[in-house]
Amino acid sequence: MSAAPVVEVSPPWRPALGDIVIEPTEKHTATVVFLHGLGDSGRGWADIVPAFGLRHIKFILPSAESRPITINGGFPMNGWFDVLGLGPSTKEDVPGLDRAAAHVISILAKEKAKAGPESPVRYAVGGFSQGGSLALHVATSLTYGKYLDGKPAPSVPLTAAACISGWLSGSDVLAKGRRNLDAGALERAGRLPILHCHGTVDPVVNFQFGKLTAETLKGPLGFSKTKFNAYNGVGHSVSPEEVADIRAWLLEHLPPA
């Protein structure tokens, strides 16, 4: 697949807070862009990410814009895209999803260009709640080579993706679009490891919705290496067990060597 040009997001992305970058303290061999949840910012994860103890990974924690959010009564808060509801049959903000994904992909593309063509650095994306939903959208856009609206996405090699307490947006559009994918896109989907972690008593993003997300990724969408971890008694938060599992998973797919 030929690389699509990297274009600036229009209108310009205007977050309330700039990207937070946690630099590696050992040889840099991986970069992870991690996306916060609705109403939060990159700063909210600045103290959590170091707990992974992965000194070879550069973590980039961008922040969403402040925007009206429908499920918040239309009042503005930091959000990657509008959320009209949380359920498999809810109408979705497709333009907002694609715009946010383009912003995250531009971060990855710039990191790759800065590292150079011979760099051993690998790239991954992850997120919590709404950030997890966007992380999955970034992963499917890069893997399939196009956004939900059908426009081409830039070519950035993605090694892994993770979603914590999140959901998959645009699954119907993605399933229909898969019928027209070339063999290369389907092959990339089959080899991309995706981790989905979800608490069984999540009061915000229902556990069954999260489980359906993993099943849809693994089945109809062709991401056969999707792994779903359930955490008994955990709500809409990140437990110590999840942190340990995410760390192990990142080490498996983004090892130091």
Query: Which active-site residues does the annotation give?
Result: 129, 202, 236
SS (H, E, C) 99-138: HHHHHHHHHHHHHHHHHCCCCCCEEEEEEECHHHHHHHHH
For helices 94-115 and 130-144, give the axis angle rounded to 10 degrees: 70
Strands 65-68 and 30-35: unpaired
Distance CA 209, CA 77 (A): 24
Q: Give backbone dihedrals phi and psi of 12, rounded to 5 degrees, phi first.
A: -55, 145
C-alpha distance across the termini of the chain, in Å: 28
Counting beta carbons within 10 angstroms of the beta carbon of residue 85, is it exposed (0 to 12), middle (13 to 18) or buried (19 or more)? Answer: exposed
